[in-house]
Structure 1
Amino acid sequence: MTRPIGVYLIDDHHVLRQAIADMLDGQDDLRVVGQAGDAKSGIGEMETLLPYPDVVVIDLKMPGQSGSSAIAQIAQSHPQTKILVFTMYDNPAYVWSTMNAGASGYLLKSASRADLLRAVRSVAGGGGYLQAEVTMPLVKRLIQEARVAGDRGTLSVREMHILEALADGQSNKMIAKSLLLAEDTVKSHLRRIYEKLGASDRAHAVAIALRQQLIG
């Protein structure tokens, strides 16, 4: 007989956590092997379990250690364990960061019972799971990141020089003098740079350029 999928729950909402445990334990192929109200105690208890849980269902916002940092810790120490984020936050930045940290799935607490069961089974089987409601915002973020990355190549040599001057804190007048340009020409270049990088001002442009490694 195949061993049931061992699931560990980490969530500071006790009533919700117990309801999820009862639901999962009602399935023949799933078994809740433990639960905790915070990440630190949950990680500590999981280290005492043999075998280590197959799936960890974890919230993001809890007292003490955050779910995000716990995800990275679990993924590093037990890469074979699958992690499913179960949270109320649909911010694409959270989806992006938790998936990068090692999570295999992301589910909102507004999800149906069927969605939760499907997500647990999917990640346990080596797949991933993104709830439909978080997929579109994430795709939009990925498109924006790709657009910014793609625009690197469209920056001219002159624009790169101006970006580097911005990073050095030079004013428009100083940049114009050093590059032998009219100040109005520098302003025109800046407008194009902001547009290409999706920046709102000088500081934002420099921040994006540093993050995208356009300048050192």
Structure 2
Amino acid sequence: MIRIMVADDHAGFRAGLRALLATAEGMEITAEAATGEQAVALVTSVQPDVVLMDLAMPGMGGVAAIERIVRDHPHVRVIALTMAGDDASVAAAIRAGARGYLVKGARKAEIVRAVQAVADGEAIFGAAVAARLAAHFAAPERAAPPFPELTPREREILTLMAARLSNQQIADRLGLSQKTVRNHVSLILGKLRVADRAEAIALAREAGL
């Protein structure tokens, strides 16, 4: 029996997922968490086989929670199950240690297959995410990324800024504090030699971010 923990701040979604998987053979939802902190604590006590983790949650974000869980419990497999399907979110989850990535709205068969695969030690990604990853790795050698003066984290935040996310939304997405994001934004503005966020966004969009 595959023991599953669901981490999502929406009780309705958790209930729907529980109902969806109730008839799935060989697996059961044994715990639910509404915040990243609660997910980290419950993994320690419940020791699930697989965690289905939303990325945008209050408090500790999903990415930070994934990183903590994988670091402290390497035998626990985490699948990101979230609304976000953009490259930055996928990359952040994979870097944190997620073994799978599904976009909310995935069918029951896709979720069940992903849980079974990661429980067996495989990595699996939803169809849309897998297609983007395949295109990325199949592409010819890439030119140097834009804005080489920025660190990878700063470039990641600039990309989310270009997508019109607020500092709080960026903090939730990346599992950072709002203060840390503000500091990064200030550094980005200085390095790009722009006066404000709007100018930085314009530059980012011109560069294709």
Superposition TM-score tier, normalisation by shorter sequence: 0.5 to 0.7
Matched, 1:36 2:30: no
1:15 is matched with 12
Within 5 A, what are the aligned runs for 1:147-186?
A: 147-148=141-142
What SS does the aligned partner of 1:147 have? coil
2:131 equivalent among 112, 118, 136: 136
Relative to structure 1, is the Cα distance of residues 28 and 136 closer, same or farther in structure 2, using a 3 angstrom cutoff?
Answer: closer
Task: Tell me the percent identity.
Answer: 29
2:2 is matched with 5
TM-score of the pair, normalised by structure 2: 0.67
Name the CA distance, whole Å, in 2 between partners of 1:54 and 1:39.
17
2:23 is matched with 26
Aligned residue pairs total: 153
Gaps of 5+ in 1: 149-195, 212-216
2:204 is matched with none
8 Å Cα contact 2:78/2:98 also seen in 1: yes
Matched, 1:106 2:126: no
1:117 is matched with 112
Which 4+ runs in 1 deviate beyond 3 A? 139-144, 205-209
Name the CA distance, whole Å, in 2 between partners of 1:62 and 1:208.
25
TM-score of the pair, normalised by structure 1: 0.65
8 Å Cα contact 1:68/1:98 also seen in 2: yes
Higher radius of gyration, 1 or 2 = 1
Q: What one-letter code is carried by the residue in structure 2 that aligns with 1:47?
A: T
RMSD: 2.2
Q: What one-letter code is carried by the residue in structure 2 that aligns with 1:95?
A: V
Q: What one-letter code is carried by the residue in structure 2 that aligns with 1:197?
A: A
2:175 is matched with none
Name the CA distance, whole Å, in 2 between partners of 1:128 and 1:117.
13
Q: Which gives a bigger RCO, structure 1 or 2 (Cα 8 Å, sep 6+)?
A: 2
1:197 is matched with 144
Gaps of 5+ in 2: 155-209
Name the CA distance, whole Å, in 1 between partners of 2:145 and 2:63.
28
